[in-house]
Amino acid sequence: MKPIISTSELVSESAGPTPPVLLDVRWSLGGPPGRPEYEIGHLLGAVYVDLDAELAGPPGKGGRHPLPDPDVFGAAMRRAGVSAGTPVVVYDGGLGWAAARAWWLLRWAGHPNVRVLDGGLAAWTGELSRDTPEPEPGDFVPRPGAAGLLDADGAAALARAGLLLDARAAERYRGDVEPIDRVGGHIPGAVSAPTTENVGPDGRFLPADALTARFAALGAAEATEVAVYCGSGVSGAHEVLALAVAGIPAALYAGSWSEWSADPARPVATGPDPQ
């Protein structure tokens, strides 16, 4: 099953015998919450999910967006009508990061059928709804561990033994600037791979063959294992999604740079070279 779905495919499936559950996960780093935007207009039947409160735990030693408590996450998904046997489609405003975070979490928690709307709400040309749906509660119970997850030590080891991709902007990877975390730079051995280069000007993912070529040039063809990190485990999920489009399985270091850089004992590399 493809991990993304086009707007035309969504229209067709929504009119079919098993319409997907729709989750609206609009969110922006440091910006206003997405709920007001949701109330202005959303896809018909979509339920709003709060990334900070329901797709992440409280900030702390595990980073700015540590994984949520499975019980909290499960309750949010059931409230939205998610069941183990129902397809799920997730979207955000168009950047794709928040939708990918929800996609990755559902996969990690064992849901077998979840996709991201390619291009997000920005790609949608149909009507929007202002009605707040009240779906029948779902039965989904998270069973964590179905998708690859790394901790800090695992990320350090994979940077030496496989391919660890840094999905942040190149200037943050190099350590030229660091607007959020304690120190700039990257995990030694990680390769710069800004997630913004996985999409075209319209916000949709590049074709699978183009993504395959991109990741091969970064070393994915030779690596036995691939993993991704970012600032706090949100944009990194988008790169894991891009890798899935390319047919390359990858793990996520969810704590990412916000966890790594908070520990002064962990090494930091700067400049354009991985080491």
Catalytic residues: 230
In the β-sheet with 149-150, what is the strand arrangement from edge to edge? 149-150, 251-253, 226-229, 163-166, 191-192
CA dihedral 220, 242, 62, 58 (to 10 degrees): 180
Neighbours of 61 (CB within 10 A): 9
Contact 14, 81 (CB under 8 A): no
Structure tokens at 59: 């900030």
Q: For the chain, what's the residue count?
A: 275
Neighbours of 215 (CB within 10 A): 24
DSSP for 172-214, please give it: HHHTS--SSSSS--B-TT-EE--GGGGB-TTSPBPPHHHHHHH
Angle at 104 between CA 252 and CA 57, to 5 degrees: 80
